[in-house]
Amino acid sequence: MPVFASRVNSLGVEGAFAVLAKAKELERQGRSIVHLEIGEPGYQPPNHVLEATKKALDEGKTKYTPSAGIYELREAIAERVSSTRGIDVSSENVVVTVGAKMAIFAAIMAFIDPGDEVIVPMPVYPSYESVTKFVGGIVKPVALKEERAFSPDVNDILAQVTDKTKAIAINTPGNPTGGIYQRKDLEKIVNLAREKNILIISDEIYEDIIFDGGKHKSVLSIPGAEDITILISGFSKTWAMTGYRLGYAVAKKEIADILAKIQSNAVSCPPNFTQVAAIQAIRGPQDEVIEMIKDYQRKRDVIFDEINKIKGFRMIKPAATFYAFPNIKGTGMSSNELANRLLDEDGVALLPGTAFGDYGEGYLRISFAGPMEDIIEGMKRIREFVSSL
């Protein structure tokens, strides 16, 4: 067989999909598995979105679309981003992508040459590291620390800046930590990026899943950010539309055009009928979304109480997202060993913190996006397993 291109060696494996595959295989063999591994809402998309999907199919919305996505959806996204960030972007600034993941891929492909450095505060969603390395870039990690509720220390970011720094990739609210960047830190990041001509990639896909009445703080609402930022967000989390494969990037027109060109070369365009339905996700009633977020908050509270009862575990309350990121250092086990044993011996599928890059050792990521029964059963199994050690 011919040898693979060397870049293949740099590609990471997304932990959530790897553990899901193993957990499904154990289930197939007859084991009872509690799924707390994947960041996928356990709800259906809102009813009016499902109706709009069926209608779009009946109306024959089954064809190619422009690479940047259909105009009406780009308009709807532009209006939403403008009103939530207090800025003025138009459909020309928006590229609808095949999941937010395609937006991440295109953003890094568009800007990172071999040897370019990308600063990545982590633990974080693993695509940033994987894709940067895939294109020959160098990842410069910055620790997100528990004692700062997983919001970055801008001095640590500053310490990683060199004359090769091309981009900084931030994710707020953050997967897997549930942490939020403070506005004053975002301001410092924008100032730094402007001064040093650094691109900001800001992944805000959990922007609506914020608890206790908190409001999302977006980089794009900071004066001066618009010219140097690619905002990434999508439909998978807020509207529970993971399988629709729809995300988006918002950036200045010159950047948006290149992102669309990259997407065009990879997949031509996002699906037609899901784009038509997604207009209704944005423009339709939001009451079902509000209920989902309340429900995530109830689950967060249950998991918080239960985790802190487990010997060797402790966690801070996540302010956002549907992930708990407990510190398990008190168990004396590594994240990997504990995660593996929980799956193999106890039937609980979750992820080691190390699946999210540097500084994840000593933590587990537990998704509470699924049904409450699974969370309760999962917590019971973990508690019993740990006390039997």
Total count of residues recorded for the chain: 389
Q: Are strands 247-250 and 165-171 parallel, antiparallel or unpaired?
A: unpaired
Our finding on whether 107 is near ligand PLP (CB under 6 A) is: no
* Interaction of residue 263 with ligand PLP, rule CB under 6 A: no
CA–CA dist 76, 21 (Å, integer)? 36
Contact status: 74 vs ligand PLP (CB under 6 A): no
Question: Residue count at the site for ligand PLP (CB under 6 A)?
Answer: 13
Considering only residues 265 through 324, tell me which ones interact with ligand PLP, judged by CB under 6 A: none
Residue numbers 243-262 binding ligand PLP by CB under 6 A: 247
Q: If you write DSSP's letter for every residue of 181-226 in order, what string do you get?
A: --HHHHHHHHHHHHHHT-EEEEE-TTTT-B-TT-----GGGSTT-G
Nearest approach, Cβ of residue 244 and ligand PLP (Å): 9
Binding mask 162-191 for ligand PLP (x = CB under 6 A): ---------x---x----------------
With beta carbons less than 8 A apart as the criterion, state whether 119 and 170 touch: no
24 phi, psi to nearest 5 deg: -65, -35
Please tell me the distance from the alpha carbon of residue 53 to that of residue 64, in angstroms, as a whole number: 16
Q: Does residue 236 bind ligand PLP (CB under 6 A)?
A: yes
179, 173 Cβ separation under 8 angstroms: yes
Q: Output the residue with the shortest Cβ distance to ligand PLP.
A: 99
Task: Please tell me whether residue 101 binds ligand PLP under the rule CB under 6 A.
Answer: yes
Q: Is 105 an interacting residue with respect to ligand PLP (CB under 6 A)? A: no
In the complex, minimum distance from the CB of residue 325 to ligand PLP, in angstroms, rounded to a whole number: 13
- Give the binding range for ligand PLP (CB under 6 A) out of 84-92, 97-105, 109-117, 377-385: 97-105
Tell whether residue 100 is a contact of ligand PLP (CB under 6 A): yes
How many Cβ atoms are within 10 Å of 295's Cβ, its own excluded? Answer: 17
- 111-170 binders of ligand PLP (CB under 6 A): 125
Distance CA 99, CA 57 (A): 20
Beta strands (DSSP E) in the chain are 34-35, 94-97, 117-122, 138-143, 165-171, 199-203, 229-234, 247-250, 323-324, 348-349, 351-352, 364-367
Nearest residue to 130 (alpha-carbon basis) of 157, 165, 105? 105
- Report in angstroms how near the CB of residue 311 gets to ligand PLP at its nearest: 30
Cα–Cα nearest to 379, from 299, 297, 272: 299
Convert residues 31-60 into a mask of x (bound to ligand PLP by CB under 6 A) and - (unbound). Answer: --------x---------------------
Q: How far is CA 98 from CA 109, 204, 239, 286, 352, in A?
A: 15, 16, 15, 23, 27
We find the least distance from the C-beta atom of residue 236 to ligand PLP, in angstroms, to be 3
Say whether residue 370 binds ligand PLP (CB under 6 A): no
Regarding 234 and contact with ligand PLP (CB under 6 A), the answer is: yes
| Listed ranges 19-27, 54-62, 147-155, 234-242: which one lies at the site for ligand PLP (CB under 6 A) | 234-242
The binder of ligand PLP chosen from 117, 129, 146, 203 (CB under 6 A): 203
The residues of the shown chain that bind ligand PLP, judged by CB under 6 A, are 39, 99-101, 125, 171, 175, 203, 205, 234, 236, 242, 247
